[in-house]
Amino acid sequence: MRKLILILTTVFALTATAQENLYGFTVKDEYEKEVKLEKYRGKVLLIVNTATRCGFTPQYKELQELYDQYKEQGFEILDFPCNQFGAQAPGSIQNIRQFCTENYETTFPLFDKIEVNGANELPLYTWLKSKQGFRSLGKGIKAKFMSGMLKKKDPGYASKSDIKWNFTKFLVDRQGKAIARFEPTQSMKEVAKAVAKAVAE
Q: Tell me the one-letter amino acid at 130.
A: S
The CATH number that applies at residue 36 is: 3.40.30.10
Which domain does 84 fall in, by range? Answer: 2-200
Q: Which of 13, 35, 54, 150 is catalytic?
A: 54
Q: What pLDDT shows up at residue 73?
A: 97
Per the structure, the count of domains in the chain is 1
SS3 121: coil
* DSSP codes joined into one string, 134-148: -----SSHHHHHHHH
pLDDT, one tens digit per residue, over 62-93 is 999 999 999 999 999 999 999 999 999 999 99
> Counting Cβ atoms within 10 Å, is residue 191 exposed (0-12), middle (13-18) or buried (19+)?
buried
Q: What pLDDT shows up at residue 82?
A: 98
Residue 148 has pLDDT above 80, yes or no: yes
54 is catalytic: yes
Q: What pLDDT shows up at residue 180?
A: 98
Q: In angstroms, how far is CA 59 from the centroid of its own chain?
A: 13
pLDDT, one tens digit per residue, over 5-56 is 444 444 445 456 668 899 999 999 999 999 999 999 999 999 999 999 999 9
The H or E element spanning position 67 is: helix 59-70
Question: Quick one: pLDDT band at residue 149, thresholds 50, 70, 90?
Answer: very high
Phi and psi of 153, rounded to 5°?
Answer: -85, -35
Q: Measure the CA–CA gap between 97 and 197, rounded to whole angstroms.
A: 30
Q: What pLDDT shows up at residue 2?
A: 53
By C-alpha distance, which of 3, 31, 35 is closest to 124? 35
User: pTM for this one?
Assistant: 0.91
Query: What residues does 47 pair with on adjacent strands?
Result: 78, 170
Q: What pLDDT shows up at residue 7?
A: 47
Angle between the N-to-C axes of helices 123-131 and 2-18, in degrees from 0 to 180, rounded to the nearest 10? 60
Taken in order 59, 111, 75, 177, the sign of the CA dihedral is: positive
Taken in order 5, 11, 15, 18, the sign of the CA dihedral is: positive
Q: What pLDDT shows up at residue 136?
A: 95
